[in-house]
Every structure is written in structure tokens, then in C-alpha cells.
Amino acid sequence: MHFSDRDLAPVWEKVQARERLSREDGLRLFETDDFLGVGRMADHVKSRREGDRVYFVINRYISPTNVCVLSCTFCGFARKKGEEGAFEYTLEDIVGMVSEEVREVHIVGGHHPDWPFEYYERVIAALRAARPEVQIKAFTAAEIDYFWRRWKIEPKEALARLKAAGLQTMPGGGAEIFSPRVAKLLHYTGKADAERWCEIHSIAHSLGIKTNATMLYGHIETFAERVDHLLRLREQQDASAGFLTFIPLPYQVGTTRVVPRPTPPTDKLRTTAVARLLLDNFPHVEAYWVLLGEATASVALHFGADDVNGTLEDERVQHMAGAQTPAGLAREQLCRMIRDAGKVPVERDALYNVLQVWN
Amino acid sequence: MLVEIRDKALGGKRLGRDEGRWLLSEAPLLEVGALANEVRFARIPDKVVTFVIDSNPNYTNVCVTDCQFCAFYRKPGDPEAYTLTVEEVLAKVESAAARGATTVLLQGGHNPVLPLDYYTTLVRETRRRFPQVTPHFFTASEIQTIAQVSRLTVGGVLDRLWEAGQRTLPGGGAEVLSERVRTRIAPKKGGPSAWLEVHREAHRRGFKSTATMMYGHVEQPDDLLDHLDAIRELQDEWGGFTAFVPWSFKPGNTLLERWIKQVKGPNTYLRMLAVARVYLDNFPHIQASWFSEGKPTGQIALHFGADDWGGTLFEENVHKAAAYVNTITVEEITALIREVGFTPAQRTTTYEILKTW
């Protein structure tokens, strides 16, 4: 492989030899002008792992509430109790949201000041009872941590009880950027920090609950902070081995305007690629189409991504922050997005069991 | 294959058809992109991306050519048919000029009732009243229509337009320059030679023009190669093409819509641009179309061999008729170009740089 930046050659040597990349390598990948060189290496790794396969799932996002005690600067979703636009769904509302074809529900919500932990247990149990075939992915580490802060329920107990009620996997949200500097500036010190976030995922993994991991980027963080975030996740995966998918989340400008413009598509592609190259122990890296946009997500399938997430019949968190992609793309559209990249669409469930190959 | 192609492309040797076919249909996308990027910087070393302040108004939607891919035209007598007067068109030029446009790309249907004088007056009056605006008027098939209506040769029409002050022609109407494809989607427009002949006659007279390509309908890779071969050969003759501008077919509201299984998306587009950059070794510029492919794809395309961002397109009606709309400002263009690592520069119709940001 020929690189316009010769400094990438030693990184490529390591990639070919399946050697682990260092922090310096990670920084070089973010800083080099050879944006396509980074992509080509990630494409090589993706193809080596998954061939032409690209996964998607028919899923439904449910936010039981947007009422939240926190005030994270980047969030356009949260409302205070009683504020205009605040919502709180009942068990019946939530169960009624899951349509016939859905294979996975993804439940993430605000840190509600009053709802008891038992309500969340009941949500999971009710979904389980109504739709036993649907896999339930629910509650970020930040929410699990909040159950401790608010109700003094230890994460281990919380996760064990939720698992008993029917929870199967945990989403990767709430990680933001593992940087105390950024946490302070963007006012998210009130939620689980890197140590706590990783601890909770580690507990989940020990209970046999697979989880995802995310990184919110494209705001005020530095490349070094991105690399450190990825390496922290890699370290955690070495220790507890329960992560399925890494999902880089580009910050949506929307109404929160931490920065004036969204990070450009080239940065979204590069970040996907660097994640694929650094996270050698993560099975999957996702191009989350709602945040990348359909076109960039489709191109990202050449930059190391092997998953596009799903049909997402509802995704209030990001839509309220202004993600400008049509909600609820049907399966056919996801297949088109995957096929445009010359890849083979594979429909999966939350645990990556293959349901159907759409050739 | 890739190594040989790279050696040839960077060694100044022309690629052959088999190599072009491999790049179009088999080569890994990012490998094609990286090669195109190398070729681009070998030819244009500066990290500059140009754009033009322009508008694309239309003077008539009346057309007798019935192309299957077109949602814009109306037959003569249709209640939605319109033809603007010379003054109405000049009012559009004036409003574009007032917004800083230096190019007005004017095109329309093939309306058999308009006399030669209508066209030459538009050119002459644009030059006289708005000297800062380049009249980038009338595509090849319109020139042919004018020739038929006025009983002149194509060369004769071009001479009159030249006398009126016109110096450039837009490259629309090429579609895919393959007999098979044009017979299928634009049977009344004539084969590839019709479009090529107009541009040949124009270049011979000193006109500059662009070459376009509208893909993503019934073509096969060999049709695309026919197209690239044809414009590359013509460019060898006179060197009159400034840029190659491909875009994907938008099927909304067209007769061709029901035949399209999958609209071609960003990956196909990036590949097309990159292959063009490598294959069209005698074309100075390759234009990325934020307008037809979306701004993110346009930005990514700047890393796939393109060196031009196209224009502001203050007015556009042809894609709009196919239910496709996209708008932009100069401020946004400069921000979009800069944030993907290039210096934005405003250019003229013929790619002279007016201002660097």
C-alpha cells in the first residue's frame, strides 16, 4: 500500500502483522493529512474480520422520559419536570410502541427525579411479557449509576435485577468523552466518570450482559482526548471482554451550539477508521446513520464500519438535538445504503445472531 | 493491476479501456480515491478548491425532445409550458449579478418557435448590461435546435453567438455518450456524435466548454468508458474542455423512474469522480457537485480527486422538477471547503482565480 504520508508506513506494518497500535500511532492517525490512507488501513481490518458483511437490525428506540436532573451542555433532549416539552410514558405507552417486526428495543432516558427503580424493572418485565421474542437493550451506565445516586441501589444489584426482569444488553451511551477537563467545561461532572462508567460495564460483563461503548466527539475535545478515550475502552475490553460494538457519536449542533458547526464528514469517516484500528479487541464498529447522515454512513462502510445500527422507529434524543435524517428508515433503505457501498446487508438481532442475509 | 495503473497514471501514461473498466467496477473504492488524489496533487499542487458564484435560470421549458429522464420539460401547448421574453431573462441575469454572480448558466428546452435573434440578443444584452457576468448559455442540443430552426449549420450558429459576445458553452445534455444509452433514454437527441460535434465546432472556434455526464440509469461500465473515451479524444483535438462534471440521475417525476431499481449513491459518485480524474489525463479540472450529491458527499469528493466545488446555483429548476432541492451560500461554501482541509478560491467561468479566502 502506498501512502502519501510516509509516516503511516510503520503503522501499516503493525496493522498487517496484527500488532496493537500505540497512543502515538493513534495520534498520528488523527493528525495525518493522508485521510484516505487511514481509511484504507481500517478497510483492510474490517474486511479481514467481516469480509463484505454489514449488519443492521430492525429496532425501536424508546425514551421512557426526557425529564432529567442533569444539565449537560451538549444535550438538547433533557427537560426539567413540568417544563414545556417534558414527557413521561406509562408502561402501556411503552409496550404499545413496539411494532410487529421489531427485533430489538433500545431504551435510554433522562435521570428522572422521582421514578423509583422498580418502575424501570416493571418496564423491562412488561416488555418481556408482551414481546418475549424482542431483545431488550436498556439503560446506559450513567443511568445505572444514577440508580445508585438516587436510590442507593448498587450497580451489581440493579443490573442483576434488571437482567432477571429481561434485560439482555446495555447500550454504550453516557460515556461522552472520558476527560475531566471536558466534563467540567460541558457540565457533565454530575454523571458517571470514566472509572465509574467502565466499572459499571465491567459489572455488566461479569453478569453475562453484553454492552456497547460510545464516544461523543466533534465538540471541544482534543485528538489526544479521543485517543485516550479509545485506549481506555480497549483496556476495559481486555479486562472484561463484554463489549460488542463501538459507536462513535458526532456531536449534533442543534440548539445546544457548543461549537458553531458540526464536525465535517471527513472527520466522521476518519474517527470511524481510527476506532477500527485502535480497538483491536472490539468485534464491531458502527456507522450510526442517524448521526452521520445516510451518505456519510454509507461511505463509512469503506472506513472500517461493519454496522449501520437499525431502522430506529424513534430516536428522540438525537432528533430533538436536530439530527437531519429521516426518522425510521425502512429495512429496504438500509439495504440500499449498504449495497451502494458494494457490501452485503446482514440483518441481525441485538446479540449479532444473523437473522437473514439480504443478497 | 493497481500498481501498474498507478505507475502509468503518475508516469504520465494514458490508461486503456481495460484499466478503466477495472477501476470502475472492481478496484477497492479507497484505492481509486487515493490514486485520484495523488494524480490531482501532481497536476494541481496547491490545496486550493475553486468555486464560482453563479445561477442557473431557464428561458423556456417547452421542448419537443421527450427525454425519458427529464422532469422539467413541457410539450408545446401544455398549460404549464412557459417561455420568457428577453427582458424577463435579463431580469434574472440582473438579479444574479446583484448577488455577485460572475457566471449565468442559461439553458432551456428545445423550443422550435424561438428565432436565432432571441438567443443572440440574450448574449449581446447580457454582455452589454452586465459586463461582469459571463454568459454561459445554451447546451449542445439547444445549439442544434437553433441551427435547425434558423437553417444554419451548427458552426454558423456558434459564429453568431461568438459575434454576440459568447465565449463559453455549458456541457449539459451529454447524458452518457453511448449509442445504446442515448437511444434508450433520449432517442430524439441523436447519438453521441451530435453532442460531440457541437463541442468540437465550438472548441475549433475558441469557445471553452465543460463536459458533463449523467449516470445511474440504464448504463453499463462500458457505456461510461465510451463516454470517457469520447471526451478524452475530443480534448486531444482542441483542448477546449475546462472541466468534467458528473452527476447521478434523479428519477423523481420522470418516465424513466419505474425502471430504476437502485438510485446511485455516494460511493458510486466518489468512484466516478476518482476514475475520471485518473482516466481523463487531459482535463484540467474535475468538479464535485455538492448540489446533486449533497454537501457531505461534495466535501468527501475533494479527497477523491476533485478540485472544484461547482457554483452557488442561486436559481435551479431542472432538479427541482424532479423533486430534488438543495441550496447554499458563499459563506457556507467557504466554510465547507475549509473544514475539510482546503483553501477556498472564487473563480470565473473559465477557472481563473478571482479571490482567495
**What pTM was estimated for this model as a whole?**
0.94
| Backbone torsion region of residue B13, taken as left when φ is above 0, otherwise alpha when ψ lies between -120 and 50, otherwise beta | beta
B267 vs A4, A269, A340: nearest CB: A340
Return the C-alpha cell found at A197.
462508567
pLDDT greater at residue B253 or residue A43: A43
CB within 8 Å: B33 and A341:
no
Domain range summary for chain B, segments of one domain joined by + = 2-356
pLDDT at A105 over 80: yes
DSSP letters, B72-138, are S-B-TT-TT--B--HHHHHHHHHHHHHTT-SEEEEB----TT--HHHHHHHHHHHHHH-TTSEEEE-
Q: Is B132 exposed, middle or buried (0-12, 13-18, 19+ CB in 10 A)?
A: exposed
Quickly list H helices, chain A.
9-16, 23-31, 35-50, 91-96, 117-130, 141-151, 155-165, 180-185, 194-206, 223-240, 265-278, 289-292, 294-300, 316-320, 331-340
Give the pLDDT of residue A328.
Answer: 43
Task: Name the nearest CA neighbour of B33 among A39, A234, A107.
Answer: A39
Task: Name the CA dihedral angle for A284, A289, A294, A296, rounded to a multiple of 10 degrees.
Answer: -60
Return the C-alpha cell found at B162.
461568438
pLDDT at A315 over 80: no
Q: Please, how many CA atoms are within 13 Å of residue A107, restricted to the half-sphere of its CB?
A: 28
pLDDT in tens, B263-289: 899 999 999 999 999 999 999 999 999
Give the pLDDT of residue B255.
Answer: 85
Give the pLDDT of residue B177.
Answer: 97
Q: Hey, which residues 232-271 in chain A have their CB within 8 Å of chain B?
A: 261, 264-266, 269
Whether B111 contacts B75, CB under 8 Å: no
pLDDT greater at residue A98 or residue A54: A54
Average pLDDT over residues A2-16: 96
User: Cell numbers 479521543 correspond to what residue?
Assistant: A226
What are the b/e assignments for A259-287, b being 16+ CB within 10 Å?
eeebbbbbbbbbbbbbbbbbbbebbbbbb
Confidence of residue A311 (pLDDT cuts 50, 70, 90): confident
Count of CB atoms situated within 10 Å of the CB of A236: 22
| Cβ of residue B44 closer than 8 Å to a chain A Cβ | no
Average pLDDT over residues B192-197: 96
Whether B272 contacts B293, CB under 8 Å: no
CB within 8 Å: A40 and B28:
yes
Residues of chain A neighbouring B336 (CB-CB closer than 8 A): 264
Give the residue on A whose Cα is nearest the Cα of B301: A266
| Cβ of residue B266 closer than 8 Å to a chain A Cβ | yes
Q: What's the order of all strands across the beta sheet hosting A354-357?
A: A307-310, A53-57, A344-348, A354-357
At residue B44, what is the residue type?
I
Average pLDDT over residues A192-211: 97
Give the pLDDT of residue B241.
Answer: 98
The whole-angstrom separation of Cα B2 and Cα A45 is 19
Kindly report the length of chain A.
359
Whether A310 contacts B281, CB under 8 Å: no
Q: Please, how many CA atoms are within 13 Å of residue B44, restricted to the half-sphere of its CB?
A: 22
Give the pLDDT of residue B240.
Answer: 98
Confidence of residue A100 (pLDDT cuts 50, 70, 90): confident
pLDDT at A118 over 80: yes
Q: Which residues contact B186 (CB under 8 A, 6 or more apart)?
A: B65, B67, B68, B69, B175
What is the CA angle B4-B9-B15, rounded to 5? 80
At residue B4, what is the residue type?
E
pLDDT in tens, A152-172: 999 999 999 999 999 999 999
| Cβ of residue B299 closer than 8 Å to a chain A Cβ | yes
Question: Looking at domain A53-357, which of 3.40.50.720, 3.30.413.10, 3.40.50.2000, 3.20.20.70 is its CATH number?
Answer: 3.20.20.70
Q: Is A71 exposed, middle or buried (0-12, 13-18, 19+ CB in 10 A)?
A: exposed
Confidence of residue A347 (pLDDT cuts 50, 70, 90): very high
The whole-angstrom separation of Cα B286 and Cα B274 is 9
Give the pLDDT of residue A162.
Answer: 98
The mean predicted confidence, pLDDT, of chain A is: 93
What is the CA angle B74-B80-B84, rounded to 5? 85
ipTM reported for the complex, 2 dp: 0.94
DSSP strand pairing (B48-52 vs B208-215): unpaired
Give the pLDDT of residue A321.
Answer: 52
Give the residue on A whose Cα is nearest the Cα of B33: A36
Classify A168 as helix, strand or coil.
coil
Domain range summary for chain A, segments of one domain joined by + = 53-357
Count of CB atoms situated within 10 Å of the CB of B129: 12
Average pLDDT over residues A45-52: 98
HEC-encoded secondary structure of A116-150: CHHHHHHHHHHHHHHCCCCEEEECCHHHHHHHHHH
Confidence of residue A314 (pLDDT cuts 50, 70, 90): low
Whether A1 contacts A8, CB under 8 Å: no
| Cβ of residue B10 closer than 8 Å to a chain A Cβ | no
B2-356 belongs to which CATH class?
alpha beta
Give the pLDDT of residue A327.
Answer: 38
The whole-angstrom separation of Cα A55 and Cα A345 is 6
Confidence of residue B324 (pLDDT cuts 50, 70, 90): confident
Looking at the complex, report in whole angstroms how far the Cα of residue B324 sits from the nearest Cα belonging to chain A.
15
The whole-angstrom separation of Cα A358 and Cα A347 is 7
The whole-angstrom separation of Cα A302 and Cα A50 is 12
Looking at the complex, report in whole angstroms how far the Cα of residue B228 sits from the nearest Cα belonging to chain A.
22
Q: Hey, which residues 31-90 in chain A have their CB within 8 Å of chain B?
A: 33, 35-37, 39-40, 43
pLDDT at B128 over 70: yes
Average pLDDT over residues B303-327: 90
Give the pLDDT of residue B254.
Answer: 87
pLDDT at B75 over 90: yes
| Cβ of residue A337 closer than 8 Å to a chain B Cβ | yes
Return the C-alpha cell found at A6.
510516509
User: Cell numbers 493497481 correspond to what residue?
Assistant: B2
Give the pLDDT of residue B322.
Answer: 82
H or E segment at B146?
helix B140-150
Compute CA distances A26 → A42, B57, B159, whole Å.
Answer: 12, 49, 61
Cα B229 to the chain's mean position, in Å?
17
Q: Which residues contact B17 (CB under 8 A, 6 or more apart)?
A: B225, B229
Residues of chain A neighbouring B34 (CB-CB closer than 8 A): 2, 4, 36-37, 40
Return the C-alpha cell found at B113.
418557435
CB within 8 Å: A341 and B267:
yes
Looking at the complex, report in whole angstroms how far the Cα of residue B295 sits from the nearest Cα belonging to chain A.
9
pLDDT in tens, B87-104: 999 999 999 999 999 999
Phi and psi torsions of A182, nearest 5°: -70, -40
Give the pLDDT of residue A322.
Answer: 53
Task: Name the nearest CA neighbour of B54 among B114, B106, B123.
Answer: B106
Cα B20 to the chain's mean position, in Å?
21
Looking at the complex, report in whole angstroms how far the Cα of residue B351 sits from the nearest Cα belonging to chain A.
26
Return the C-alpha cell found at B180.
445504446
Task: Name the CA dihedral angle for B135, B139, B143, B148, rounded to a multiple of 10 degrees.
Answer: -140
Task: Name the nearest CA neighbour of A50 among A348, A254, A334, A350.
Answer: A348
Phi and psi torsions of B46, nearest 5°: -75, 145
